Chains A and B, each alone.
Chain A
Amino acid sequence: MLTLSQVTKRYPTGDRALTDIDLTLPRGQVMALIGPSGAGKSTLIRCVNRLVEPTSGSIRLEDTELTRLSGSALRRARRSMAMIFQEYALVDRLTVMENVLSGRLGYVGFWRSFLRRYPREDIAEAFRLLDRVGLPHALDKRADALSGGQRQRVGIARALIQSPSLLLVDEPTASLDPKTSRQIMRLIRELCTERNLAAIINIHDVALAQQFADRIVGLRAGKIVFDGSPQALDAETLTTIYGEEEWDTRVSEDETQHEPEHGIAPSPRLALATGGAS
């Protein structure tokens, strides 16, 4: 359904963020895009909905060549690919309902949206979605009065009311605690299955990616270095994606957690640092 071929992005600053990306995403597939910071994950999904202009290559959604669209054709194409953001990117001073309904902006005219006179079925759908993500009581609250997890739920509702066929999700859980992160990922996964949506989910957390995605793509320095099922992801492939590190996560987490307990005696690294300065 979505096909990227030979997509390259070079920023004006000279950073080569993506190099010759080839990727095909079938309908209904949930793909996790993993990789270290700066690998180009955000750049990739932003090239798809053209918040970032790809330097070269072609991106097709169904039968539309996205890279050549402009003006109203681009806006029409954007309706079918909804984006969910890391920092939620809700409009703080608008209410929850206004935020959700803003997902319909691509469908309604300026005056309707200006006067907030959305069609009845849009309003009903907005409320249904708010109910689905568990926030029916919050409709008149201001977006900045919500907690992080609640905001992300509103962000999800705003994306779904676009009735998209593709979700572009940029680190949906990076600002959330572990429990909320799982709930949000589960919600996104369920909604994709319910509505047969394809999704590209940029995510830091490898364990979450493995649990909720059908397919994992690893990006490193703007190139795809892994493409396979979640089960195929082992320590060796993680090393190709992220570089050398001890990949048995539980052990390394234990180490870091125990460090403070050494308490008064300075850790070796700390002792070294003070020794070096004097």
Chain B
Amino acid sequence: MSRQAQAQAGQWRRLPMIENPKLRWGLVVGLATYLLLALASVEVNWARVAEGASRGLNFLAAFTRPDFVSRQGDITAGILESLTMTLTSTVIGVALSIPVGLGAARNIAPWPIYYACRGIITVSRTFQEIIIAILFVVMFGFGPLAGMITLAFATIGFMAKLLAEDIEDLDWRQVEAIRATGANWWQTMNHAVQPQVMPRLIGLSMYRLDINFRESAVIGIVGAGGIGATLNTSISRYEYDTSAAILLIIIAIVLLCEYSSSHIRRWTQ
């Protein structure tokens, strides 16, 4: 019976995504088999798990008695360093991402500049922060300078890509209207493009500030300074109550960032 005749009799199902039933079921069975085999191939050392579980529990138990005091100096220094890294890298990264983002928008940039800026974005986004951090630690030595450059570099790729996408979605009529008055390129950017992308740019910068703070805790582990370095030291010394204190502070700061950034984003709309 044709689908139209069936529908007339009140019978209708949406078309399956893969039309051929053999292929469809073959894919399902194949995937399930692969998943089972893959799980079976992972070796589990149960003795090690049992041993590790108690250590893990120790770590979790530390959260009931976080120790903010005995390493207070190190924690404060680490947090301040992380915040400094976060703020400077975000400001530098956002400032640099604006020209790159303008250049990477297909509708306003000439081809050679477009490809160059897309290249910068791809390089910046290909490597995870940790890998970049290791490179910069090798280049600039241990400490927050390497961390700051790492985060700024990662910020460029993130911001420029999203900014370029936003520019490509512009309401082009507004741009044409400004161009038709005899405005030059910079005036067109300032009068037609900037008003349209500004709220998103501010929102993304706040979001990136948030990400950069969390990343600053991670890249500290490979020696790029900040609270991550303090955390790493405390874990390797089995001072889990200090680690717990540091983690709680990180959570608090992230929550604070989250709160204020959603406020600011609402205000810019």
A contact residues vs B (CB 8 Å cutoff): 49, 51, 72, 75-79, 82-83, 85, 87, 89-94, 98, 102-107, 110, 113-114, 155, 158, 162, 278
What is the bound-complex CA distance between A113 and B178, given in angstroms? 12
B177 touches which one: A72, A75, A85, A110 (CB < 8 A)?
A85
Stretch at the interface among B24-32, B103-111, B189-197, B205-213: B189-197
Assess whether A106 is in contact with B195, with CB atoms less than 8 Å apart: no
Stretch at the interface among B9-17, B36-44, B82-90, B179-187: B179-187
19 extra interface residue pairs, beta carbon distance < 8 Å, beyond A93-B198, A105-B178, A113-B191 = A49-B180, A51-B176, A51-B180, A72-B184, A76-B182, A77-B182, A82-B181, A83-B177, A83-B180, A85-B176, A89-B173, A90-B174, A92-B174, A92-B196, A98-B191, A104-B181, A105-B183, A105-B187, A113-B187
Assess whether B195 is in contact with A92, with CB atoms less than 8 Å apart: yes
Q: Main SS of the interface on chain B?
A: helix
List the B residue with the shortest CB-CB distance to A113: B187
Assess whether B181 is in contact with A91, with CB atoms less than 8 Å apart: no
A90 touches which one: B177, B179, B183, B184 (CB < 8 A)?
B177
Chain B interface size range: 20 to 34
What is the bound-complex CA distance between A138 and B179, given in angstroms? 24
Assess whether B182 is in contact with A106, with CB atoms less than 8 Å apart: yes
Assess whether B187 is in contact with A51, with CB atoms less than 8 Å apart: no
Using known A-B contacts A85-B173, A94-B191, A278-B8, determine if residue A78 contacts B181 with beta carbons closer than 8 Å: yes
Among B171, B178, B192, B196: residue with most chain A CB under 10 A: B178
Residues of A within 8 A of B180 (CB): 49, 51, 78, 82-83
Residues of A within 8 A of B190 (CB): 110, 113-114
Residues of A within 8 A of B199 (CB): 93
Residues of A within 8 A of B173 (CB): 85, 87, 89
A102 touches which one: B181, B184, B196 (CB < 8 A)?
B181
